[in-house]
Structure 1
Amino acid sequence: MACFAMMGVGQSLYGPTLPVFGRMFGVPQAETGLLISAHWTGCALGIAAMFAFGGRISPRHALAIMAMGAAGLASLAGWWATLASAFVFGTGYAMATAVFNPRVLAAFGPRGASMLSLLNACFGIGAILAPLAFVRFGQDPRLAFLVTAGLALAIWFLPGSGGAAPAPAPGSARGFRPRLPILAFGAAAIGIEASLIGLGPTALIAAGESETHAAEFLSIFFVVFLAARIVLTFTAHLVPSFMLFLAAICAVSCFALLGATVSAAWAFVAMGASAGVFFPSYFVTASQHMGADPRVPPTIIGAGLVGGIFLPLILSPLMARLGDRGFFWLVAGLAGVAALAGLVTLRPMLRPAGAAP
């Protein structure tokens, strides 16, 4: 839980620091989105390592790598060094995600989905506090990422480096069975989530908010994000996970339309609820369909990373060309297409692996 809170601190800092890094290193807005993609590209390396060596990687490996990446971001050594440091932080970030999520899902049996939501809710705690602290202490990226590195090192010293992952629950689906439809949904949803977190503050500034207000709205976004995951802690085991996913993707499309036509700031905040539901509902659905093979969790997370890497990279230059609300129009369109696809494939998505047609 402490590790996930620290991860929330680190990832939520990208959004408010993008304009600062852009001014500091003379990088145009269209290129600052590379920082988000660098993080998610590093995540891809972390997932590849988990796929190949997952049984040998402990939480302490992930924490040490994140501490190095955050320290590099704090060094302000230049734009390319900043991108490289985000890549390193992302590598450890993905390792921690792939270590903890399947263990928690397996360890708590029938309540695994709810406890996984609780674990991921801890991400929201750090993500709420970090943008507010960033504004409070003078929008200094050096201090912000030094604190992140310090948190990672402090957690490294906590007891329990982690042993072998728990065995799958009796009767759980076994074998490695990739399911492209749910992986495609995950890529779309996590790509939208990454874009909201990383590019959202820039989109709010384009819509007329100040940098300070954009950072504050990002914190409120994460309050809603955290609230959604807390609700999931009590309800996720009662509702089919794909129904939760579909409701979230429909909601984000509607709120993005409101952001494009009415209020960008408060529509952005409302989308925090959908962002909070995306990963837990996707991970549980994909696990039900793909079995309990050790290669399954890295594959599930890796599909999400495809969206996390490429969608911000695509949206960053496009949003400026479509006017001051271009980001919201793009998100509304993407989420709308995903929602329609979810409705078309609803029946097979609701059938877990091994269920009769």
Structure 2
Amino acid sequence: MTTYKLSSNENPFPPLPGVEEAAAAALARMNRYPDAGSTALYAALAARLGVSTEQLVAGTGSVAVLYHLVQAFCDPGDRVVHAWRSFEAYPIAIGVNAAVGVPVPLTADGRHDLTAMADAAAEPGTKVVVLCTPNNPTGPALTHAEVVGFLARVPRDVLVVVDEAYREFVRLDGAVDGVALLAEHPNVVVLRTFAKAYGLAGLRVGYAAAHRDVAAAVRVCALPFGVSAPAQAAAVAALEHEDELMARVEAIVAERERVVAALTGAGWELPETHGNFVWLPAGRRTSDLVTAADEAGIVLRPFAGDGPLSGVRATIGEPEANDRLVEVAARFAPASTGEPSGP
């Protein structure tokens, strides 16, 4: 039986030939250090996003850029506000830099509580706020109007990081566009990645777009030669093949909608998802669901320890894997178990 890994939100499609060839050509020069300035990548991103190269910072995944940002702007004891539950790396990035995390609980439907987060951001000692949209692991995305209203309430000396790791999968009317916020909000930092939609998870390349002064400060903290030559070459090639890659994204989104409809039909109440994953609010059944999935040959990501707020994140993978997910999850739906459901 084939085992499918649905625990890491990876793109199930293999690399496009042009992207693979670009990485292989760069690999042939592995005896040389990569371009420390990521010159070709910055030029391609600047053209794609309509920003200057001085506004960009690349790193080994967008999470590495976040680590460097917290290091650059937070002294020990400074506050970093983020939603919870959200991306697991946030508390780690905050802790290793001796800052203090301020987790703000999600709303009942798995969304950021922007009112509570704005109140927390106004507290003395706050240096950074992180918005994850769509939120990993629950799935809801923020609208542009919501974030603009949030920025109006946050002190302008507090950096607001808009983490858009899954933005290509969003199908929400009026969804936030972090880059569009930069012109009027110098305290905005946008995180994006090539790991998800672009299928380069194994090469570890992400980036931030920010005000020039902010980007310069983050670059100082970044590791020299952090993004490998194959990663840089593959990312540039991915931008050149973006139309083909986005066709694959559309296929994943269509499969996501199929899975959501099947799970809902089986009795699950799911938060609205705009990532390449779904959130199953399994509560106390979380461990049992993960065990049953493992026996069926699918690996899921459990988020246990939160009692009724615990759950399981499942990546949208190959159709066969998704079919197995639906089959297993149907046995744990609230309609089958008699337990309440909700994010």
Fold in common (TM above 0.5): no
Greater C-alpha radius of gyration? 2
Larger fraction in helix = 1
TM-score, with length taken from structure 2: 0.28
Larger fraction in strand = 2
TM-score, with length taken from structure 1: 0.27
